[in-house]
Structure 1
């Protein structure tokens, strides 16, 4: 049910602005803390709460937060091509914002995946601007229906994490307009988001947060954007320039670039009162929106967990799965199965989201291994890890307890609890505060962490710890690690932490508890840059010691089809991929290869058992050098709480897969259109030339006639579909026209098909892509059913941006209409005629 905005006792922006003193206005220009705007209680201005986003609502705490639902990552949702599903999820996210008393959701992300190696590729919907913008607009409107403001981000050309605060995305204006700005333009036209977040990077030499051409000229004047503009967190780099360009709010607080600096700029008249009023007005308009929503200010935070919500999470997880290959018809698994070998690091460990701002404390989770076991309770399910893919040892979260309950205990002291406390606590020493926690990944802490680790396997275990501070680690009372003088390391578990230090604890027995304790001090700690910090943290993980060859051999042994006279069905499911350590903010991937021995594992299992299903779980594409030997391949994105059940539903036929790739899977790094000028591999320090121009994603593969591993829009079903009866209406003078065709389910089971409409302009004044996605429709059909569908298109399907004119142009002539099951599987072709050229500026 939609939440109507409350019009009674409305917050009056004009009168409030008139009452505020200049000192109060200056305070409003930056945040109070990480998740709240600055309040002015004496003027009746409350503090607006914001929350990450975009696949769940974390609330105001990164550590020990109130649990929340985690939905599939952006690229997973993009690969559903499902407007109705995205709308449902947006509505639920709006409700969960309300449960966290959050007025603003910091999502969605619509940056274009210039390269799949970007650490945050998984957050965006697609490499295609039309698909990305269309789904994002639906998402935002759904969130808004609950009285919550959504935030479109990161504006603009924020396509890599390497040197993300300083690098310059050097993009031609045509490429910028047609590829990178286009999803933002679609969103602002179709959903008018209340908040827009600027990017960290520079655009053609000028930081996005102070780029007057980008913010004032294009966004506000040309597109008519009326919402508030906020910096990405710590992404404000100037005082005067950013305010004059139109950046309303610096986040997070306390301020770094505003406050006293603004007051000084006013004295010198580098800024005028009118400049401040313009920025404050937008902040007050957001306050008014929050006031009307009925969401309390500084309100409580609660978790939501209902059967209906779990059902939606499960359906979303299943719908985000893409069936890449089913050459032998092994799927769906509908015959009785006596034995299943489940293999791989992503089967047992739970990776429900990518890293960085996408991570949260989930209400619950279902691993792939647990999902498979639940789907076939009568079958014997054997497990072997086969290979490791972690940068840090897996967290202890599912294998620890304290005082008879799951979790651990954190105890805090304001002073040392006795001389030599790192080795031995003084008798009778008591912490000033303590709290239980469900995780062994703790931020902003200082004290003692105690838990009992219960291994589920026997053998020698490696224990790894990274600290924000200094300290020691104990196992059963014996110190196993001394980090009292450990130096900081780049890309550690969290900022300004030590490298991952490890020790081996030998002879552990499955089910036998091991008492673990970490004692650490975060008062003074020298960071990589020589600064001092008091921000503490702890990450502790463990895994059984297993050599690469030994691990693969274990996997092969359980995968081999050696049933003897019993002739029992023996099936192998290998689950490999990436995780939130490889795909996260602040770090890009070095290449598209799977980490560790994952490829060797897959190849070995395929040799041992031809009835092997390979499941890759990652937020963005990976290479598959074993693809020719694999008959059955499934791609699972970060699927949220219900990933395990959703995948099992697809594998065992409860759900007919309907996902289609929203990004191209390349065969090798060199095939990526951005290669080699991307990330650290650029011509000059600090500049990233977007040398491929408009030929991003499938446009680049088409232009260079490169065969991808799997093309954009590809995805198989357990049934088959045919296309017929294509027709188009004449293109009207304003560019509108309709494409109609019929889809028939020619298979024996019900299914859903995503039909994609591409437009080509073979004769143009400027070079154009061979084809561009301009429409799509997802149709559910019963076995044998046919349905006529229509896709309405407008001038956006025809035009290109002409920099000479500073305008969009649709040239007269014949356009080709291509309807297909993917960008490389075109089923129908037709033509549409535009009689007279026209041009336009703006939305």
Structure 2
């Protein structure tokens, strides 16, 4: 619709109607104006799957690899393909806008949301952001890049201010957003919870108007993160178009009254309303849209794509003696061990969680991949932060008011012993004041001491056979669960007898002021044998031809609104890995996490595979890589430190209301390691393959835009493989090193290939805060060509003389470590 039609439409609106467009009508929908044919737009989380409107349970959806896994592919074309498929998932939920991608930087390795983000490097993150946005928007769905900006810490994210100087912003944190706007014309930008330099990002005029719209030319919608609007007039005048979620807190009648007497504010209302109208047209929102019907579309092509993505993202960190891939012909017995071995850990926690169509565990995947091999299994040790949910039907009855009196207003069946509601629960339920009773019958599989746990956002109490065993009702207190709205888990131990059926009931209430935005309750139960046995694991390992240990984190350890407390694996996983390695050297350690973990046993492990959270095809993707059906295609998008030394500043948990100083400036990740002279456990860009691909000669030549780098590679093995050519620049000024270009190349056995990568003048520049613009680096610049930031094969010197590039064609052959 051309601008003149928007003008006519806006003229036909009352001020009240214009204002109604500037906040959500509900948690996931914008407002409609039926008399003028203005349709609502439905939004959905999130970056690794389209959940729909139900925050817990709900219609099933495809679970894709998380953001860090997508970035680990170093393959923008593949990420674009995945994002296009994800957009089709969004359409199946009736949504026109997807709340992703998340492009905050991996500054803090303990950030609870690192799994959702791409990288510590702005060049890699920018390439992934552009690919993701293009893929989503190729299907007519609007992408929402988030969180703008400085949300690199989840702990106290709502109360802290990220203190970032402009040079650091321009060089590290702004580039993915800038690229998404300029190169992919992203539809929406979501502001962050935190403040930037003392001003909330949702009302930061410099950020939203001067930079985003003024410099970059953004013409889409700026929305707040959920409940992160803090003012009526200030946010709107600063450029915040849409307050989410609805119903409004800061706009509505407040904004109408203010705009009647303020021409500038009324003009801002009109501009933002225009942008909401333009978004609805851009994504094809119409009056006939069926927003209530959500479909579960389990497509074969999506299954195959997710499986391929999982293998492309897997990073082979170590492979001494070519222990991998496994040769099925030489195997009679394989032991699969570890807390993540018999369950599929698909994604992290928070808004990234979805109700997946299905899940394939590592144990299932290996059993299918090795049909002629005996597969033994042991948990070894627990890995859950909270006691496991009951995976069986649980009835829930909802009551009006908080005392569970009268007849229930709604009865539903859940698939597990957890219920979460973000916003409305159901039309029949007053989500501001309701109570519920959960009930199920549990048949004990064995005799012994069972652990049982309870936690809730709201008050709760749990009964077994009518006896109160856990009380989070009297003396309820806020803990770390459920985005900081819930209590910590309360536990007890009960003796149960095998074969006996136990009636478990739970009372829950919300409405006493403890929580109104997010309501949740869960109970977990663990039989004695589910704790695992170190002795059993070691015994199986000793008898096996090969051992696969699958350890790591999960969605309770890495989650939105909370940061991890340590780089270490949860106890006692390190002890399990050490014991299994001692029992059988033919052990491969597989780590699932969305961020780095310490590996004190790494020197003793022959092979280590970083699997990330690869989505619903978890076990199949793992089996493909371990058996050599697929190449481990991943390279690290984040440095893996050996320990916390040197990172104490960025990992410090801020106090409530504190400033978070980004004192390290642009030297996060690998730049920080190089500056400090520290050696990470595994460097940025690192990853091994099964093929023997070697770097050959390289050439550098000047172009009108900057420079062109050509690199020759050859596959010297009898199997196909791939390598990622990485181009870094190192300036003489402060010895800073920057990834500026990369390309993944696939080669058949014996094949020789050539990669050409172009560098722009911006690539040879650093931000000058004094001049307020990009300036070319002073002095000679090294062009470093390698397979990681540490393993450099060829170097060229570039002398930046005036406005022209003069190239010294010196080349260093062979490999070196960049230090």
TM-score (structure 1 length as normaliser): 0.89
Unaligned runs of 5+ in 2: 426-434, 806-819
Give me the whole-angstrom Cα distance separating, in 2, the residues matched to 1:786 and 1:459.
Answer: 63
Distance 2:458 2:235 in 1: 35
**Inter-CA distance 686–330: structure 2 relative to 1 (3 Å threshold):** same
Corresponding residue for 1:773?
A: 739
Distance between the aligned counterparts of 1:787 and 1:472, measured in 2?
Answer: 65
CA distance in 2, matches of 1:540, 1:334: 43
Map of 1:438-587 to 2, 5 A cutoff?
A: 438-444=415-421, 446-453=435-442, 459-475=448-464, 479-493=468-482, 496-509=485-498, 512=499, 514-525=501-512, 527=514, 533=516, 536-545=519-528, 551-561=533-543, 569-587=544-562
Shift of 1:91: 0.9
Matched, 1:730 2:689: no
Residues 535-593 of structure 1 deviation map (CA, whole Å, 9 limit, x = unaligned): 64321222233698x832232222224xxxxxxx5322211111111111110111211
Q: Distance in 2 between matches of 1:514 and 1:493?
A: 31
Match of 1:384 in 2: 378
Query: Per-residue deviation at 1:815?
Result: 2.9
Contact 1:332 1:652 in 2 (8 A): yes
Inter-partner Cα distance in structure 1 for 2:90 and 2:287: 12
SS of residue matched to 2:341? helix
1:649 is matched with which residue?
A: 624
Distance 1:168 1:417 in 2: 41
CA contact (8 A) 1:48 1:297 kept: no
Structure 2 match to 1:697: 669
- State how 1:201-212 maps to structure 2 within 5 Å: 201-212=194-205
**More moved, 551-560 vs 136-145:** 551-560
Query: Which position in structure 2 is the counterpart of 1:433?
Result: 410
Give the whole-Å Cα distance in 2 for the aligned partners of 1:418 and 1:597.
Answer: 42
Residues 1:229 and 1:547: Cα distance change in structure 2 (over 3 Å): closer
Tell whether the 8 Å contact from 2:480 to 2:487 is kept in structure 1 after alignment.
no
Out of 303, 317, 330, which is 1:310 matched to?
303
Q: How far 1:453 moved relative to its partner?
A: 4.1
1:403 maps to: none
Q: Does 2:565 match 1:590?
A: yes
1:715 match: 687
SS across alignment from 1:725:
strand
* Structure 2 residue 26 is matched with structure 1 residue 33: yes
- 2: CA distance between counterparts of 1:329 and 1:456? 42
Partner of 2:234, secondary structure, is helix
The 3-state SS of whatever aligns with 2:613 is coil
Q: 1:95 aligns with which of 70, 74, 88?
A: 88
What residue is the counterpart of 1:688 in the other structure? 660
> CA 1:327–1:416 in structure 2 vs 1: closer, same or farther (change >3 Å)?
closer
Tell me how far apart the structure 1 counterparts of residues 804 and 441 of structure 2 sit (CA, whole Å): 71
> Would the aligned equivalents of 1:730 and 1:833 in 2 still touch at CA under 8 Å?
no
The whole-number CA distance in structure 2 between the counterparts of 1:264 and 1:679 is 44
Contact 1:452 1:513 survives alignment (8 Å): no
Q: Is the 8 A contact 2:140 2:284 kept in 1?
A: no
Distance 1:571-1:468 versus aligned 2 partners, 3 A rule:
same
In 2, Cα distance between the equivalents of 1:175 and 1:810? 16
| CA distance, structure 1, for counterparts of residue 474 and residue 594 of structure 2 | 36
**Retained in 2: the 8 A contact 1:679–1:688?**
no
What SS does the corresponding residue of 2:311 show, helix, strand or coil? helix
Aligned CA distance change for structure 1 residues 309 and 272 (closer, same or farther; 3 Å): closer
- What is the correspondence of 1:624-643 to structure 2 with a 5 Å cutoff? 624-643=599-618
Shift of 1:475: 4.0
Tell me which residue corresponds to 1:350.
344
Q: Which whole-Å CA distance do the structure 1 matches of 2:238 and 2:587 have between them?
A: 57
| 400, 406, 416: which one aligns with 1:414 | 400
Secondary structure at the aligned position of 1:730 is classed as: strand
SS of aligned partner of 2:251: coil
Select between 298-307 and 68-77 the one with higher mean Cα deviation: 298-307
Matched residue of 1:830: which SS?
A: strand
Separation in structure 2 between the aligned mates of residue 347 and residue 132 of structure 1, nearest angstrom: 31
By how many angstroms is 1:235 displaced? 1.0
SS of the equivalent of 2:462 reads strand
1:323 aligns with 2:309: no
- Per the alignment, residue 663 of structure 1 pairs with 638
* Equivalent residue in structure 2 for 1:757, among 711, 722, 727: 727
Alignment deviations for residues 598-655 of structure 1 (CA, whole Å, 9 cap, x no partner):
1111111111211111111000000111111111111111110011110111111111
| Cα distance in 2 for residues equivalent to 1:534 and 1:826 | 51
Deviation at 1:206, TM superposition (A): 0.9
Distance (Å, rounded) in 1 between the aligned partners of 2:272 and 2:746: 48
Deviation at 1:517, TM superposition (A): 2.8
Q: Which SS does the other structure have where 1:300 is aligned?
A: coil
| Conserved? CA contact 1:55–1:70, under 8 Å | yes
What corresponds to 1:821 in structure 2? 787
Report the alpha carbon displacement of residue 382 of structure 1 after superposing the two structures with TM.
Answer: 2.4
Corresponding residue for residue 817 of structure 2? none
Residues 11-410 of structure 1 correspond to what in structure 2 (within 5 A)? Answer: 12-267=5-260, 269=262, 271-291=264-284, 296=289, 298-336=291-329, 337-397=331-391, 400=392, 407-410=393-396
* Mapped contact 1:389–1:577 kept (Cα < 8 A): yes
Residues matched between the structures, number = 792
Contact conserved, 1:573 with 1:614, CA < 8 A, in 2?
yes
Unaligned ranges ≥5, structure 1: 1-6, 401-406, 420-428, 562-568
Give 3-state SS (helix, strand or coil) of 1:743's partner.
strand
- C-alpha separation in 2, matches of 1:497 and 1:482: 14
Q: In terms of mean alpha carbon deviation, does 631-640 or 260-269 score higher?
A: 260-269
Question: Equivalents in 2 of 1:707, 1:678: separation in Å?
Answer: 18
Structure 1 residues 617 and 447, CA, compared in 2 at 3 Å: closer, same or farther? Answer: same
Partners of 2:296 and 2:640 lie apart in 1 by 37
TM-score by length of 2: 0.92
Shift of 1:452: 4.2
The answer to whether the 8 A contact 1:332-1:718 is kept is yes
Contact 1:476 1:514 in 2 (8 A): no
From the superposition, tell whether residues 496 and 662 of structure 1 become closer, same or farther in structure 2 (CA, over 3 Å): closer
Determine if contact 2:558/2:564 at 8 Å carries over to the other structure. Answer: yes
* Distance (whole Å) between structure 2 residues aligned to residue 253 and residue 418 of structure 1: 28
Aligned to 2:428: none
Q: Give the structure 1 partner of residue 760 of structure 2.
A: 794
Q: CA deviation at 1:476?
A: 5.5
Aligned to 1:611: 586
Q: CA deviation at 1:212?
A: 0.6
2: CA distance between counterparts of 1:724 and 1:96?
43
